[in-house]
């Protein structure tokens, strides 16, 4: 009997250690924005806690889950989970656990703008920390009190609390909280107008975020840089940092936050049902024990009455249990129906999200490509021209990458189409190396480029996807190599009639990849190891995208690597040799009679001030007269009261949309050409545009050749009809 108890104690200890380990991993995953990983670990911990009937760990799971919901932005679910945790911990009088939970609860109420309750809970947390000498929690509580002051428009008070928490955080080496403190202190300094101090403080946060791989910290820091430089009226630097912020923000884990939240609710609600079933089972066991005790007592007095009573009670209990079982089954059916409806809503939300994010991502890209074009037209120096061409190339690549992310479902279903346009492969690779040159130099790496001179200068294929493949592979080599060499080789394998077969090789002498990891390195969200992820960062999507893109091009990526010795990636591609014929907008643009556009009045309907500036400058540079309307209502009034030769209409604007504005204009003016100048996805919307009165569509960001070709076409038709 004693031996059995010892074994049970050992098993219980193992289970608790496993739960603790899962919760530590979940906390680390939340701090580094690996939310799917966090959800997996919380789910494992909760299943063990429920199976082991351990209320203490169920409360701790609820607290970590509340932190996950807070990160996902599901504040109501976060509040519900932290309330469960606090209830159990109060029953157990666990003050150490309560200090953590009240700290999280205060943070949630701050986000909900419930400042009174936020202050109340944070004061309780602070008292418990002081009473129990919880040094590790002292800094985080000070941060949350400072955040509350900042939300209540008291930045000076916020800075005082941040400064009080910093020494303890530094002494304990709490790098995540240190970075979080610096980010929010910089926000407070920005509100106070101390912009240079804010930049210096934000630099410290960015340094920690980069070194430790905290993606959320890096994203917040880039966003904060953008706001600070905007206040300093350094709009160029502001725009650059905004672009970096968008890259972090719209990475796949940020795009899938709503889906992760839906999955969390679906998985962990099932866990709650298990808890209810376990409680009912436990209650039933207790009742059975009471019945046995009652039976023994009653037998001593009247045996016959006891037997009859027990039979009656047994029938009664069986009926109750059957009724409860039926009720549970009905509840389960209802929950399954709700889960199905939630999944359908999540799918609809994803479609709507992709449509909205298309506009939000392409709008700043329009500013980048537009400003680059304007700068290239203003006679830059050779050195500046090289940088501007690199910026233009990077913009094109970023647009391609955004399209791949937005079309992720198509990519996995092999529905992404491969373009077939002419391009200079050697120049394209040179552009890639120029764009990556600074990264290589920063890590003291040398790039060695060998290009077979027998390869024809012009080929037909998809240059953007070729660039995307090479940027991923060369970028990986740069990231995982320090003070080393990287070789890029392109050689011709065969040349048959008008087709060439080329071999691409990217080799480095960096950290290498173990044999075990080589089996899974091309899967989504996979990297060499957890240590590599923390040291070098990244999402683990690059090689997966390379594999999918090469598969679409009827090729396969091959890997040879040895840990500590470097890696060699190589693949073969087939191209058609380009025969020089007149094609597309570049050739059409050369034939344009620009005199048709001189003194033509154009109304630009656009709510984004930067886009207004770029479009106005491009039009006025070609001697056109430009007027601007900030929204659809203003556009309608200006069209009624003025004569215009052409209207450029954005789609997503405050008030009425561009489509609705066009419909109203067509009610009193059916002749004026209206061209949609928009960043919305066009795949499924073309008929809607034409049916509502648009003459043509120019997707943003556009190439200037396409822009002027379509403007010339619209103005020429108007002149002929007049």
Are 552 and 485 within 8 A, CB to CB?
A: no
Residues 6+ apart with CB under 8 A from 333: none
Q: What is the pLDDT of residue 351?
A: 53
The rounded distance, in Å, linking the Cα atoms of 280 and 274 is 10
Summarised one tens digit per residue, pLDDT across range 531-584 is: 554 454 444 566 877 888 888 889 999 999 888 889 999 999 999 998 654 345
The arithmetic mean of pLDDT across residues 689-707, rounded, is 81
The rounded distance, in Å, linking the Cα atoms of 556 and 109 is 52
Q: What is the DSSP letter of 492?
A: E
Residue owning tokens 């029938």: 315
Are 389 and 550 within 8 A, CB to CB?
A: no
The rounded distance, in Å, linking the Cα atoms of 530 and 28 is 11
Q: Which residue has the higher pLDDT, 251 or 478?
A: 478
Q: How many CB atoms lie within 10 A of CB 113?
A: 10
The rounded distance, in Å, linking the Cα atoms of 507 and 510 is 9
Show the 3-state SS of 199-260: HHHHHHHHHHHHHHCCHHHHHHHHHHHHHHHHHCCCHHHHHHHHHHHHHHHCCHHHHCHHHH
- The neighbouring-strand residues paired with 486 are 447, 508
The rounded distance, in Å, linking the Cα atoms of 158 and 182 is 12
Distances (CA, A) of 654 to 629, 632, 660: 12, 8, 12
Distances (CA, A) of 452 to 184, 202, 455, 491, 495: 53, 47, 6, 5, 13
Residues 6+ apart with CB under 8 A from 640: 668
Cα distance from N-terminal residue to C-terminal residue, the chain? 104
The arithmetic mean of pLDDT across residues 257-264, rounded, is 53
Q: What is the pLDDT of residue 557?
A: 92
Residues 6+ apart with CB under 8 A from 697: 675, 676, 678, 682, 686, 689
Count H helices and E strands in the chain, helices first.
28, 12
Q: What is the pLDDT of residue 78?
A: 85
Count the helix, strand and coil residues of the chain and give each as a percent rounded to the nearest 5: 70, 10, 20
Q: What is the pLDDT of residue 185?
A: 92
The arithmetic mean of pLDDT across residues 299-314, rounded, is 82
Q: What is the pLDDT of residue 400?
A: 57
> Most confidently modeled of 45-54, 380-389, 500-509?
500-509
Statement: residue 58 has pLDDT above 60 = yes
Residues 6+ apart with CB under 8 A from 446: 440, 484, 485, 486
Show the 3-state SS of 69-137: HHHHCCHHHHHHHHHHHHHHHHHHCCHHHHHHHHHHHHHHHHHCCCHHHHHHHHHHHHHHHHHHCCHHH
The rounded distance, in Å, linking the Cα atoms of 196 and 186 is 10
Which of these ranges, 262-276, 304-318, 707-721, has the smallest mean pLDDT? Answer: 262-276
pLDDT confidence of 1, banded at 50, 70, 90? very low
The rounded distance, in Å, linking the Cα atoms of 106 and 126 is 11
Residues in the chain: 722
The arithmetic mean of pLDDT across residues 574-600, rounded, is 72
Share of the chain above pLDDT 70, in %: 78
Q: What is the pLDDT of residue 644?
A: 93
Are 638 and 664 within 8 A, CB to CB?
A: no
Are 81 and 66 within 8 A, CB to CB?
A: yes
The rounded distance, in Å, linking the Cα atoms of 565 and 168 is 42
Distances (CA, A) of 332 to 13, 182, 274, 280, 431: 33, 47, 11, 16, 58
Summarised one tens digit per residue, pLDDT across range 608-667 is: 888 888 888 888 888 899 999 999 999 999 999 999 999 999 988 888 889 999 999 999
Predicted TM-score (pTM) of this structure? 0.39
The rounded distance, in Å, linking the Cα atoms of 708 and 598 is 12
The rounded distance, in Å, linking the Cα atoms of 711 and 644 is 14
Here the tokens at position 699 are 């997707």
Are 82 and 99 within 8 A, CB to CB?
A: no
The arithmetic mean of pLDDT across residues 220-236, rounded, is 90
Summarised one tens digit per residue, pLDDT across range 183-203 is: 999 999 999 999 999 999 999
Q: What is the pLDDT of residue 604?
A: 93
Q: What are φ and ψ of residue 125, in 5° steps?
A: -60, -45
Residues 6+ apart with CB under 8 A from 615: 370, 604, 606, 626, 648, 677
Distances (CA, A) of 406 to 31, 254, 367, 676: 26, 13, 20, 21
The rounded distance, in Å, linking the Cα atoms of 160 and 340 is 49
Buried b (16+ CB within 10 A) or exposed e, 191-210: beebbebbbebbebbbebbe
Summarised one tens digit per residue, pLDDT across range 365-377 is: 767 777 787 787 7
Here the tokens at position 261 are 């939240």
Q: What is the pLDDT of residue 647?
A: 94
Question: ∠ CA(612), CA(227), CA(202), 5° rounding?
Answer: 150
Pairing outcome for strands 459-461 and 421-423:
antiparallel
- The neighbouring-strand residues paired with 621 are none
Q: What is the pLDDT of residue 632?
A: 92
Are 365 and 239 within 8 A, CB to CB?
A: no
Which of these ranges, 28-42, 86-100, 260-274, 395-409, has the smallest mean pLDDT? Answer: 260-274
Q: What is the pLDDT of residue 360?
A: 67
Are 295 and 306 within 8 A, CB to CB?
A: yes
Buried b (16+ CB within 10 A) or exposed e, 284-301: eeeeeeeeeeeeeeeeee
The rounded distance, in Å, linking the Cα atoms of 711 and 585 is 12
Statement: residue 525 has pLDDT above 50 = no
Summarised one tens digit per residue, pLDDT across range 386-430 is: 888 778 777 766 765 665 565 555 555 555 677 788 888 999 899
Summarised one tens digit per residue, pLDDT across range 452-468 is: 999 998 898 888 889 88
Q: How many CB atoms lie within 10 A of CB 716?
A: 15
Here the tokens at position 464 are 């953007």
Q: What is the pLDDT of residue 76?
A: 86
């Amino acid at each position: 009997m004693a031996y059995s108890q010892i074994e049970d104690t050992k098993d219980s200890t193992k289970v608790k250690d496993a739960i603790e380990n899962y919760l530590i991993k979940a906390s680390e995953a939340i701090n580094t924005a690996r939310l799917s990983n966090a959800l997996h670990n919380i789910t494992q911990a909760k299943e063990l806690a429920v199976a082991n009937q351990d209320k203490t760990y169920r409360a701790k799971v609820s607290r970590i889950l509340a932190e996950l919901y807070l990160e996902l932005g599901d504040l109501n679910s976060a509040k519900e989970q932290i309330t469960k945790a606090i209830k159990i911990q109060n029953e157990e009088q666990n003050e150490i656990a309560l200090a953590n939970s009240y700290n999280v609860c205060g943070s949630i109420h701050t986000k909900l703008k419930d400042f009174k309750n936020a202050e109340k809970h944070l004061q309780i947390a602070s008292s418990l920390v002081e009473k129990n000498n919880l040094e590790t929690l002292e800094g985080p509580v000070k941060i949350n009190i400072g955040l509350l002051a900042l939300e209540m428009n008291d930045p000076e008070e916020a800075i005082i609390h941040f400064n009080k928490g910093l020494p303890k955080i530094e002494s304990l080496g709490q790098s995540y909280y240190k970075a979080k403190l610096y980010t929010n202190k910089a926000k407070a300094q920005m509100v106070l107008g101390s912009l240079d101090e804010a930049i210096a403080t934000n630099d410290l946060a960015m340094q920690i975020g980069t070194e430790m791989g905290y993606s959320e910290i890096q994203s917040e820091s880039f966003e904060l840089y953008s706001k600070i430089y905007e206040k300093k009226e350094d709009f160029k630097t502001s725009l650059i940092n905004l672009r970096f912020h968008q890259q972090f923000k719209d990475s796949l884990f940020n795009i899938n936050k709503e889906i992760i939240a839906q999955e969390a609710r679906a998985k962990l609600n099932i866990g709650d049902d298990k808890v209810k079933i376990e409680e009912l089972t436990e209650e039933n066991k207790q009742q059975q024990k009471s019945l046995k005790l009652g039976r023994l007592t009653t037998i001593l007095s009247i045996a016959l009455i006891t037997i009859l009573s027990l039979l009656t009670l047994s029938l009664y209990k069986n009926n109750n249990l059957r009724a409860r079982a039926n009720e549970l089954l009905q509840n389960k059916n209802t929950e399954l129906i709700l889960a199905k409806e939630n999944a359908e809503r999540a799918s609809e939300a994803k479609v709507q999200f992709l449509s909205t994010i298309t506009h939000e991502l392409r709008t700043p890209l329009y500013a980048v490509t537009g400003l680059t074009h304007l700068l290239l037209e203003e006679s830059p120096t050779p050195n500046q021209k090289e940088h501007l061409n690199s910026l233009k190339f990077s913009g094109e690549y970023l647009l391609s990458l955004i399209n791949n992310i937005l079309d992720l479902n198509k990519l996995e279903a092999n529905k992404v189409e491969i373009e077939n346009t002419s391009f200079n492969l050697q120049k394209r690779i040179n552009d890639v190396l120029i764009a990556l040159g600074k990264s290589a130099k920063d890590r003291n790496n040398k790039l060695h480029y060998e290009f077979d001179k027998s390869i024809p200068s012009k080929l037909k294929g998809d240059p953007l996807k070729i660039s995307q493949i090479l940027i991923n592979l060369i970028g990986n080599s740069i990231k995982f190599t320090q003070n080393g060499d990287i070789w890029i080789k392109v050689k011709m394998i065969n040349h048959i009639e008008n087709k060439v077969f080329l071999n691409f090789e990217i080799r480095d002498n960096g950290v290498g990849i173990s044999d075990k990891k080589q089996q899974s390195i091309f899967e989504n969200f996979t990297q060499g190891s957890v240590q590599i992820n923390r040291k070098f960062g990244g999402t683990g999507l690059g090689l997966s995208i390379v594999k999918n893109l090469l598969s679409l091009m009827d090729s396969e990526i091959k890997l040879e690597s040895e840990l500590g010795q470097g890696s060699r990636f190589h693949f073969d591609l087939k191209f058609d040799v380009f025969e020089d014929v007149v094609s597309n907008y570049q050739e059409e643009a050369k034939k344009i009679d620009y005199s048709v556009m001189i003194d033509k009045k154009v109304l630009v309907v656009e709510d984004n001030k930067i886009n207004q500036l770029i479009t106005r400058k491009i039009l006025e540079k070609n001697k056109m007269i430009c007027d601007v309307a900030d929204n659809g209502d203003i556009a309608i009034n200006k069209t009624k009261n003025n004569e215009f030769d052409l209207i450029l209409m954005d789609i997503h604007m405050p008030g009425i949309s561009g489509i609705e504005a066009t419909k109203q204009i067509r009610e009193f003016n059916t002749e004026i050409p209206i061209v949609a100048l928009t960043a919305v996805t066009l795949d499924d919307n073309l008929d809607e545009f034409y049916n509502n009165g648009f003459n043509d569509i120019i997707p943003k960001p556009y190439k200037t050749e396409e822009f002027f070709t379509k403007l010339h076409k619209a103005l020429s038709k108007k002149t002929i009809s007049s």
